[in-house]
Amino acid sequence: MKLRRPARARCSARPRRRHTFLLALLALAFQSFLCLSEARAQDQEVDPSAEEIHTIETDLILVPFYVTDGKRRVTGLSERDFQVRDNGRPVEPSLLVAGAESVGLLFLLDASGSTRETVTAQSETALALFSHFGARSRVAVMQFRERAELTQDFTRDLRAARRAFQIASLPDRRTAIFDAARDAVRAFNRPGRSSAERGIVVLVSDGLDTASSTPHASVIAEANAAGVSFYVIHLPLYAPVDGRLAARRASKGFRELAEKTGGQFFVVGDARSSLDARAEHDLGPIFRAVAEDLQSQYVLGYHAAAAGKEPGTHRVEVRLNAPRGRKLRVRQLRETYELKR
């Protein structure tokens, strides 16, 4: 709105005072508008309880496990159904949560070769996995060729994560899977991570590492120390061997990333589909299997101070109390944990 200046011939002391008063009134109204707008903006932000930042409890040990009756996994148990021993010493658990209640989910995507096309086509299917987890969960995306790049830091915004799945078409380069896996684990070691958050990396790759300087055993040890599990999706490449197509063997340690960190290993495709240029891999069943695996797990936590907090190897055992007349068994994903000084 523009204010017209009164003609000079009509100016007098009273109109000037009135004009000054009107300007002050407009300024006050504008200031009130700004305050009201700011208040409304704050009201429209995400519920503070959903965005609450927790300080990491450095001595909190998280133990993922599941319970089975011999045929299927058993859910619905509570903290009082379990007892914990650390190096044979009873300790008091401080929390028990469902495995999918609070998940930090990082997609680690091979950006080289044919894997790139599959990843781009499956972005919606992959992100649907995130909808199975609790409200306090977060998702991140990291791409890698010779080096890894965190294209989307941890967020609850699926639109941002979706954009991070777009992989540029570049000439084939060397691929450093284990270096990227190490960087993925370290992406979890940042302020703001909830002490009860389960760290999950979904690695999608052809399994051929040609450039890493990091040994796979080092990555596995670092992942276990950080409480991060790998779910590995292998899209193997095929080559002629003795007159037939055979899958090229993945680099040593590729499968162990899943098997030794409490995750799972999946293989997609076969020799026939590798010959069909129009073949499309549906990763939906795999992502659903990952969701079901996490939803049927428990994560039990206790403070190492309760066990004396001695540095070194801690062998942790989770036992069931009276199993209510059912033959239930605990299956731990890990049994040993390393505490540092």
pLDDT at 1 over 60: no
209 in Cβ contact with 175 (< 8 Å):
yes
pLDDT in tens, 249-303: 999 999 999 999 999 999 997 756 655 556 677 899 999 999 999 999 999 988 8
CA 305 to chain centre: 27
Residue 17's pLDDT band (cuts 50, 70, 90): very low
pLDDT in tens, 91-119: 988 889 888 999 999 999 999 876 787 88
103-295 CATH fold: Rossmann fold (3.40.50)
Spell out the residues 6+ positions from residue 176 whose beta carbon is closer than 8 angstroms to its own: 144, 145, 146, 147, 148, 209, 210, 211, 212, 213
Provide the whole-model pTM.
Answer: 0.77
129 in Cβ contact with 177 (< 8 Å):
no
pLDDT at 33 over 60: no
Tokens 């305050």 sit on residue? 35
Residue-range domain boundaries for the chain: 9-43, 51-99+297-339, 103-295
